[in-house]
A and B are shown apart, each in its own frame.
Chain A
């Protein structure tokens, strides 16, 4: 009897701490665990008793890389609860700051965290020795995303300007115009990024995913839409918990999500792209086609190309918004509190982010529930590992371990966000 164990105790190039364990017995994968061992942070509990207007600032602290996602999902939940919609230029500005977050987050993951996997480097610094132009392009692209966030949010990490109802202060047309030239450069750099990532070599791997993302009547989804999947889900955000459930498993401090009626599902760039290819602007569709992608991509390793296509979209969308922008009369819409339950769903760079709040007549939060993309993807990551290892048993432990880590990094997991949640451990018996 031959057994192998493949394990990684501290996964690199992911945000937060997690580990991987795969056990193989007689060439059959018998156990797969993707564990999160970061301590839980109790955000949902500490929101109770706070004012509803504080949720965007408190929940932004969950993540340094996608704080805008938390601000937008929580604001949307509070506004829908109070019966308020935020229209016109304020809605556009929210979309614009979110584009900034997509650009900086995707640039970071594509170049600094994911690309070293494909090129055989331990990290971006060693990659930079051989590919300085590529890394310089990444740094500039990321900075432009940050600059969008700084201009609208006051600072790039945990912006202070967004609020329930809109913003504390809105930019002038002139100040936004300063972003046009850098964003035009960023659009070209993103197109180059699509070409560059499509030239990498990818393991042959496809799975029949249930792709879950937002779907909007006429936009590529960022800030709003119905929750939809390629296997028949099409619901308003208030039905989220009727359709999905979270399960506590012993080996992880992060809850695992599944579709109640079925099983694991995938959220994130691949899901958004496959569910919404028809909503991408022509420039992004063409870049995808030229890179050899069809309208549906089921190879998670190719998420690096899809992220690049989404970066093209985000730059194009940001330029479109800036071009049409006229400042609103007021920087925010008044949101008077009323008792009830509200739901918010927006697309963080790494996938769907769901918030649910219950507040009382005074606007005090009675209950909060947050389901970040990484906990939604956790089960899908384990299934990818099971499937991938099963198909690649002939690889050496070293090569298999490297590629298993890559399987996890395909998701751009943000472990700190998910834990309420990487280490690889492959055991061959």
Chain B
């Protein structure tokens, strides 16, 4: 078994409202201090995702979604076996790459972890500030529970 068989990666801008929900979920998971768990909070460069999940048996990526769905809606994808809709996590820069592009690139390069789960939580408010919308925060807690269950299933 690898040294850190499970890697949880939270993505987002901590100062832009609901965009920080991925970081928030990762932080909550970290507080459970599970053995063999590695938690990464914040990735500046999309390419770095490929290194962050290297050597993981299971990697879980959490990001805020902006797809036009009802705020708080939770998406879960098995990224090894399915494609994530392009409109969920938009790429904002050609000088870095989005979550989707990082996954596509890793797939082509055969550098995906054994299992890769991607959670998206639809955001409501992306203005400056530290607060999560209540509906988004509630969904975040459910995602934390789901992640803990996924990790337990894998490690047992």
Contact = CB atoms under 8 A, between A and B. Distances in A.
A113 B94 contact: yes
The 9 closest A-B pairs by CB, nearest first: A157-B44, A65-B95, A128-B108, A15-B95, A129-B108, A125-B105, A125-B104, A15-B94, A132-B109
Given A155-B44, A157-B96, 6 more contacts: A15-B95, A125-B104, A125-B108, A129-B108, A132-B110, A143-B51
21 contacts: A13-B94, A14-B94, A15-B94, A16-B94, A64-B93, A64-B95, A64-B96, A65-B95, A113-B94, A124-B105, A125-B104, A132-B109, A135-B109, A136-B109, A139-B50, A142-B47, A143-B48, A143-B51, A146-B48, A155-B44, A156-B44
Interface size class for chain B? 10 to 19
Interface string A118-152: 00000011001100100110010011001000000
Interface in B56-105: 93-96, 101, 104-105
Contacts of A414: 95
Main secondary structure of the interface of A (DSSP, over half): helix
A155 B47 CA distance: 14
Contacts of B50: 139
Q: Among A14, A16, A128, A142, which residue has the most Cβ atoms of chain B within 10 A?
A: A128
Q: Among B50, B94, B109, which residue has the most Cβ atoms of chain A within 10 A?
A: B94
B45 interface: yes
Interface of A: 12-16, 64-65, 108, 113, 124-125, 128-129, 132, 135-136, 139, 142-143, 146, 155-157, 414
B19 to A, nearest CB: 15
A191 B55 CA distance: 29
A222 B110 CA distance: 37
Contacts of B105: 124-125, 128, 135
A136 B44 CA distance: 19
Contacts of B48: 143, 146
Contacts of B45: 146, 156-157
B118 to A, nearest CB: 17
A253 B151 CA distance: 50
A229 to B, nearest CB: 28
A132 B107 CA distance: 11
A126 to B, nearest CB: 8
A382 to B, nearest CB: 21
Nearest to A155: B44
Nearest to A143: B51
A46 B45 CA distance: 27
B9 to A, nearest CB: 16
B55 to A, nearest CB: 15
A65 B93 CA distance: 10
A139 B105 CA distance: 11
B109 A128 contact: yes
